[in-house]
Every structure is written in C-alpha cells, then in structure tokens.
Structure 1
C-alpha cells in the first residue's frame, strides 16, 4: 500500500511564501500529498497582498493563519522545504531537505507578490511531479 507523502514548507513568519506554497501544492495535489506550513517566528497574520494574489487564482487564504514550527511537524514530513529561515529548522536524518531561494513578499504590493507566487507555483508543480512519480 502506498503512503501519501507529506511536505512541510517553512519560512520565518509563515505569512507569505510558505503559505502560498502550501496552498498551491494542496490545490494541485488534490489529496495525493499531505501539506503543512510553519514559521520559525510566526507573524500575527498572513500578508494581505499574499491573500489577494492567491484569491486571483481562486485560492482563499483569508482563514489561514501563521503556525509555529514544531519538531513534530518536521519529524512527520517526508520533504521539508525551507524558504529563508536559515538554521532555524531542525534537521533529522532520512528527510529530504530543499531550500528555495525566494524573494520575501513582506512589505511588497500585490504586483510583486504575483511574481513570487508564480515562481512558487512552478516549483510546486515540479515537486508534485517528483513526488507522485515515486509513490504511484
């Protein structure tokens, strides 16, 4: 029996990049991947420009909120993707770690956030293709 792979997206505030990545992967995977996101220093709320940019794709992040990074979340993940959180993410043997160098959307308008969103979307689609090839 195949197990569903779990992906954890981590950035500092869990208010932009990791939230977009989680929503995009969850959308494209349609139940084939378990997706979580977290921040090493979670913000109070999600960046409004991120919510707006995602709404343009029909993805509603208005009810989402930044979540703290936990050791348990990292232990549960098969793939951990960091986005500018440096050494804050605990490293466990046997996990696949990727570091995506992405512009931080904090303080940027929706035009700038769209470009970041589209970059993340392309990376997420590539990751999903890799994950679903290995599990099917």
Structure 2
C-alpha cells in the first residue's frame, strides 16, 4: 500500500481562489485520476467560486460546484511539490527546493462564458503539460 506522500502534489494559487486556480485543480484531479494530490488556495479568497468558471467546467464534464475558496497557508506551500501561481504576485511564500511556475492567464472574474472558455482550454493544456512533466498519463 502506498502512502499519500508518495504521490506528487500540486498547489494552485491565485488571488481569490475562485476561478483560474479552481479550474486548474478540477482539471488536475480529473485528468490525473487521483495520481496527484491537488490543492488550491488564494491570497485573498472570495466568498464563493465564480459561477461562470463552474459553468465552463461543467461543459467539459468536470464538476467543481462543491469547491470553496480557501486561504493560502504556509503549510499548503510547504506540503506541495509543485506550486503554480496565477497572478498572486508576492503573496506566495517561497521555499527552497520547491518547483514554482507562474502561469500568465486572463482573470475570468466578471467575464462571460465566451471569455472564460479560452481560459479554461488554456488551463487544460497547461495541466496536460504538467502531468507529462510529472510522468503521469492523463486518464482521458
């Protein structure tokens, strides 16, 4: 039996943890089939997930309606192998030996579904690249 820490872990961070980071976490959970431990957080979490982000993900068969924005903690960063930031600037703590990536993505906040779909699709491609770099075959 393998222990949880044997799996790679990823943390997605954006300011509100309501759109981009939630979509990325949803894609990674779904496409990794549980092979990656997934976390997401925000430096200033919103009250709720962006409903347009939820709708965009439902269009591709991924349900993130149960997710809630969470505050970024030092522990979440420390416990993650890969930390992917999405426009949170200097709010993310940096630990030596961690793999950090900064994904330049448009913010879906206040955008309609037609503007959010290309952001969602960009995130999906980046997640597939992340899985490849971790040596994990996507389940779909």
Offset, 1:59: 1.0
Q: Distance in 1 between matches of 2:135 and 2:73?
A: 26
C-alpha RMSD of matched pairs (Å): 1.2
| Aligned counterpart, 2:41 | 38
Show structure 1 runs of 5+ residues with no match: none
Aligned with 1:78 (options 74, 77, 81): 81
Q: Secondary structure at the match of 1:15?
A: coil
Offset, 1:62: 1.3
TM-score, length-scaled by structure 1:
0.95
TM-score, length-scaled by structure 2:
0.92
- Dislocated runs of 4+, deviation >6 Å: none
Deviations 1:22-63 (A, max 9, x none): 000110100111011000000000111001000111111111
1:48 and 2:47 matched: no
Q: Secondary structure at the match of 1:90?
A: coil
Q: Secondary structure at the match of 1:132?
A: coil
Q: Distance in 1 between matches of 2:14 and 2:107?
A: 9
